[in-house]
């Protein structure tokens, strides 16, 4: 892991890093080093590790809960180079959706393809970050919706360190098998009028989760209309399960 910047402001330390081919950002309290809970944030499609919504979540988790937060750039996003294969598929999918194709199956196939690369990358990020004295090997949580859900479901299913996850705005077309292997507590977010993920697909993914403790938060509105107050709920959820 190579750090490229290290700054502090308002009690929050921000470190940008590169691990192999994966750029990322790490936020921690600007305080004496000790083991602490860690939340990995998976950003949405077209976003990156320092998108405004990612920053807002990270800063509140650090400032209000004392957690560490890490956000890697997904392939083809942020500081990563364009991936020709992914770019070609995404462009073709956009054209098919514009011509009237159902977006759900296309997005599910694309997320499954990208997850084959991101899951091992994110596990390596956890390895590296938890070796740092100011993070340590505390409990781990995951937060991700839309693309962050499509990649997060196989990640949470594969990573035993994750103790709780916030997921949502995703469907079960490509991830029902992985969802069934998830047994940790899950808070699932669904937009009732989602134009990209059919309501039935989102409900099917919630149903497929193998967790004994899972909660569905359904709100009116389209895919991009997730209410800001859901962040309050996520903070309480992680506080209960990560300490």
Considering the entire predicted model, what is its pTM?
0.91
- Contact of 141 with 242, CB cutoff 8 Å: yes
- Half-sphere exposure of residue 208, counting CA atoms within 13 Å on the CB side? 23
pLDDT tens, position by position, 95-150: 777 777 777 777 777 777 777 889 999 999 999 999 999 999 999 999 999 999 99
Distance, CA of 1 to CA of 18 (rounded, Å): 6
pLDDT tens, position by position, 31-76: 998 999 999 999 988 899 999 999 999 999 999 999 999 999 998 8
- Contact of 141 with 40, CB cutoff 8 Å: yes
- Contact of 146 with 45, CB cutoff 8 Å: yes
Task: Give the bridge partners for 162, in sequence order.
Answer: 140
Q: Which two tokens stand for residue 53?
A: 């919504």
* Helical packing angle, 230-242 and 52-65, nearest 10°: 40
| Chain centroid to CA 99 | 30
Distance, CA of 159 to CA of 156 (rounded, Å): 5
């Amino acid at each position: 892991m190579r750090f490229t910047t290290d700054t502090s402001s308002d009690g929050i330390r921000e470190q940008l890093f590169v691990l192999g081919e994966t750029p990322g950002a790490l936020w921690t309290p600007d305080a004496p080093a000790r083991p602490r809970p860690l939340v990995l944030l998976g950003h949405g499609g077209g976003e990156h590790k320092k998108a405004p919504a990612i920053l807002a979540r990270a800063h509140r988790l650090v400032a209000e809960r004392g957690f560490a937060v890490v956000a890697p750039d997904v392939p083809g996003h942020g500081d990563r180079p364009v991936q020709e294969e992914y770019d070609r598929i995404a462009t073709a999918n956009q054209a098919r959706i514009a011509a009237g194709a159902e977006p759900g199956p296309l997005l599910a196939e694309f997320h499954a393809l990208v997850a084959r690369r991101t899951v091992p990358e994110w596990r390596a990020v956890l390895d590296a970050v938890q070796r740092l004295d100011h993070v340590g090997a505390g409990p781990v949580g995951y937060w991700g919706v839309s693309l962050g859900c499509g990649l997060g479901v196989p990640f949470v299913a594969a990573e035993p360190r994750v103790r709780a996850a916030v997921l949502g705005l995703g469907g079960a077309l490509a991830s029902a098998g992985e969802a069934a292997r998830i047994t940790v507590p899950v808070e699932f977010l669904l937009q009732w009028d989602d134009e990209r993920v059919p309501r039935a697909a989102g409900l099917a993914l919630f149903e497929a989760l193998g967790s004994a403790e899972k909660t569905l938060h359904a709100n009116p509105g389209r895919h991009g209309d997730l209410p800001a107050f859901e962040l309050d709920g996520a903070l309480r959820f992680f506080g209960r399960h990560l300490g």
